[in-house]
Amino acid sequence: MVTVILAIATLGASAVAAVPASAQQPIGVGPVPITFHLKDDNGKWFDSGLNLFGDQSLAVAELPRLGTLGGLTTGGELSSLLNSDLVGAAGNLAQNLLGQLPLLGQVPVLGSLGGELGKALNLDSTLSAVKSIEATNRQAAPAATKAENLLGQFAQQLTTLRADQPLNLNALPIGLDLQGALNDLAKFAVKGPPVTVNFVVDPKESTGARDPMGLIAPVGAEGFPYEKAGGAFFGQRSIQLTEPGLYAFTDMVTPYMLGAVVVDDPLTIGLDFGKASMVNSRDLVVPTNSDIVNRLVNTFFNITNPNNWQQFKPDSENKFNAIQPPVPILQYDAAGNPVLIPNLDAYFDKKFSYPKTLSKGNQLPATPGVGEVWIDTEVEEWAGKKAVGSATKVNVTNWTVDRKIGAPSINMNNPHNMWTDKDYKYLYQTEWFSNKVDVFDRETGAFVRQTQVGQNPAHVMTEPGSDNLVIGINAGNEVVELAPGGTNVLRKITVSPTGEVRHPHAHWTSSDGKTVVTPNVLTNNASVIDLPTGTVRTEKTGQFPIASSMTPDSSKFYTADFTGESITCVSLAAPACVDNGQKVHSKTIDLWANYSPQDGPKAGAPFGGLTIQLPVTPDGKAMLAANVLSQTVSVIDPRTDKIVKDLPCAAGCHGINFGAKKGGGYYGYVSNKFANVMQIIDVDPNGDGAIDDAKVAGQLTLDPTATTKMDGSISGKAGYGGQGVLAIPLVYNGWAQQNQGSWRSQLTEQQLDPFPSSAR
């Protein structure tokens, strides 16, 4: 039996059929394993060689069964398995579900597909496996004949089922008999060797080191959760997939990069997700038809397929219909019943309410901000440069996209986060997929200098007072301190006193410039660095801490526990975290308190997950946390360490930072990786100190306009990839007091000294 990956052309607007690349030849057959090439290219971060309706991060393997003939050996067979070759009634249904044709009336019943029903449900593939076993083993003939007859009856019994309606196969009169016959046949074709998956990180394809880890695997799969020791690498690693079902992977350096493999058992109906999934989050074991599995699969296709990125129009509402593969999926419920989803796209349309209406992109707040906001539009594609990404400047006094720095002259590579000096002369910019920090003239956008700091620098901040830069080396094990202006490296400080590899990501610097905290994604802890001495202590956090922040008095810090679905509060000195009114050293804020992994979120209640940046307001009265899983921003009160409410963001909401609101108070500026807008959140609209009235005050598209100054031209993905956010003038305690120049007169007394000693 064989394992196959094929390259299939993107679904065109006028046809459903997809054509394999390389003259319809597979790129992996027989002994050739599945190979993911981890690349820098947009949408090819885990490139399997398969292009399924625009998604290039999914691989399909057939579970080897000894005693069957062949397998997925041609492009046509894989196209059939993935329903990319549907024509006629089934093709029209697929086009409707993919948003290519107007859907008239309700979603049709499966019987309307006529003779193509068997293909749409992959019954033809199952029948082929049945006949193959019969041909290789005479003793299997009675069971094969029975299974063949039952498959025909099964298709007939499904004709009245809606395309978006899951079906408990045990509830069908024929369901148990059919499964029994297929199980009998499996005795004549036992499982063969495991499926091999390679992860290739080639410096020619990925300038940044990578570190794949497993997110989802079937229960019983060996080697999971998949996390290899040693940290990020160039080269190749491999894993063996031993069970049929869904496997999903991410990169521990850049966790929005995802890949997945479906290992399909040819003797089941539909593509197998397995009976239960191990989810590498809170040690979850859940049925495969659980809300969390389906929610993560929906998130996977919305991230890995650029056709699914949300595009907001500046002056009008816009329809958004995510593309999911129109394939049958076999899941299992909590009682162990097999549940057939006849068409994944139709099912997700119903479950997640597609198509959606995107609001008007430009909704400008009534009250302007002070100064400017820079957003790293990290996936923008620019003419004349191989790498992607730019820094986008928004003038928040008139809400215009004022400038974009793509820096094609230096091939700026995936700009991720920014900061500035105390005089606002420079823009400091990390190149996340490279090893450099760039310095630009903030006013003109001109390139000034570049300094090598280490592999995959993620975040940069300055130290109040000295104005030295501190950069976290994401694929390494240290923070690097640069001289003001980023002119040279002063020193490197390891974040790991024990020598283990930790992968620090989004650090935060204290208001007095003496302490840096790094969240360490590999080791589920945080490093607290004393800058004067370089000594380090370690504090426990939740799972996969990816970002951090501090209160303005530097009494405590927070980490966003990306796969822990929580926020951890840790005291820096005396107990400062609040648990039911009592001061404690540390506390976990549960973002899933109102969420059931099996059944989904509680209606109307706060719900977060896959949380990233989470800054505290300069006055210490609010914290905002961006949630990728729920597309919400959690509003949290640092005075009680309790969640107050949720606010909406857009696809892939990622970065947040605070800037001054004219007349007093603060705006939280929110970036979104997979939408071309930013949101503006007013955490205290009436200025009374209470944050229960926090609201989204507006939003702005990040595409260039006719007046936007640029150092090149955008060739694709305009406005997308929002990650790091920097608001100037700096308003955080320790930096705000250094404000000089023209902006100083526009700031209130409170904004110039946001956390005076009298308020502590």
Give tens-digit pLDDT for 547-565. 999 999 999 999 999 999 9
The predicted structure's pLDDT at residue 81: 61
Alpha helices by DSSP H, listed for 305-352, are: 344-351
Tell me: pLDDT of 6 over 70.
no
Tens of pLDDT along 360-391? 999 999 999 999 999 999 999 999 999 999 99
Query: Helix, strand, or coil here: 77?
Result: helix
**pLDDT greater than 80 at residue 261:** yes
- Rounded Cα distance, 538 and 496, in Å: 8
pLDDT band of 17, cuts 50, 70, 90: very low
Region 452-478 average pLDDT: 95
Q: Are 326 and 11 in contact (CB under 8 A)?
A: no
**Alpha carbon of 120 to those of 114, 117, 155, 269: distances in Å?**
10, 5, 10, 11
The residue with tokens 């696809």 is 651
What's the pLDDT at 138?
A: 86
Going by pLDDT thresholds of 50, 70 and 90, the confidence category of residue 15 is: very low
Mean pLDDT, to the nearest integer, of 585-592? 98
- Higher per-residue confidence, 16 vs 296: 296
pLDDT over 90 (residue 306) = yes
pLDDT at 85: 59
- pLDDT at res. 86: 59
Which residues, in sequence order, are CB contacts of 159 under 8 Å at separation 6+? 109, 110, 111, 117
Residue pLDDT, tens place only, 316-352:
999 999 988 888 999 999 999 999 999 898 899 999 9
- Measured in residues, the chain has a length of 760
| Burial 134-163, CB ≥16 within 10 A → b, else e | beebeebeebbebbeebbeebbeebeebbb
**Unique residue bearing structure tokens 């029209």:** 92
| Range of weakest confidence among 234-238, 390-394, 671-675 | 234-238
Q: What is the pLDDT of residues 193-211, one digit of tens each?
A: 788 899 999 999 999 899 9
User: Which has more pLDDT, 406 or 267?
Assistant: 406
**84: Cβ contacts below 8 Å, ≥ 6 apart:** 8, 11, 16, 17, 18, 52, 53
Q: How far apart are CA 660 and CA 744, in angstroms?
A: 11
Residue 562 Ramachandran class (φ > 0 left, ψ -120 to 50 alpha, else beta): alpha
pLDDT of residue 30: 39
pLDDT at 7 over 60: no
Please name which of 629, 626, 650 lies closest in space to residue 291, comparing C-alpha atoms.
629
Phi, psi of 700 (to 5 degrees): -145, 135
- Of 52-66, 122-136, 260-274, 378-392, the least confident: 52-66
| CA-based end-to-end distance of the chain | 69
Rg (CA), the chain: 27
Q: What is the mean pLDDT of residues 530-539?
A: 96
Specify the amino acid at residue 634. Answer: S
Assess whether pLDDT exceeds 50 at residue 14: no
Find the Cα–Cα–Cα–Cα dihedral 505, 515, 468, 740, rounded to 10°. Answer: 110
Domains of the chain: 372-752 (2.130.10.10)
pLDDT at 24 over 60: no
Residue 181 three-state SS: helix
pLDDT at residue 220, rounded to an integer: 93
**Is the pLDDT score of 227 beyond 90?**
no
Please tell me whether residue 143 adopts helix, strand or coil conformation.
Answer: helix
Query: Residue 405 — very low, low, confident or very high, per pLDDT cuts 50/70/90?
Result: very high
pLDDT at residue 176 in the model? 86
How sure is the predictor about 755, in pLDDT bands with cuts at 50, 70 and 90? Answer: confident
Task: Give the count of beta carbons closer than 10 Å to the beta carbon of residue 397.
Answer: 14
pLDDT band at 230 (very low <50, low <70, confident <90, very high): confident
Residue 685's alpha-carbon distances to 121, 659, 665, 699, in angstroms, are 53, 14, 8, 16
Q: How many Å is the maximal CA-CA distance in the chain?
A: 90
pLDDT tens readout for residues 635-690: 999 999 999 999 999 999 999 999 999 999 999 999 999 999 999 999 999 999 99
Task: Count CA atoms closer than 13 A to 591's CA, side-chain side.
Answer: 35
Q: What is the pLDDT of residue 326?
A: 84
pLDDT at 683: 97
pLDDT in tens, 147-170: 999 988 888 888 888 888 899 999
Element (H, E) at 427: strand 426-431
> What is the value of pTM for the model shown?
0.92
235: β partners:
201
Q: What percentage of the chain reaches a pLDDT higher than 70?
A: 89
- pLDDT above 80 for 126: yes
Mean pLDDT, the chain, whole residue set: 88
pLDDT the model gives residue 155: 85
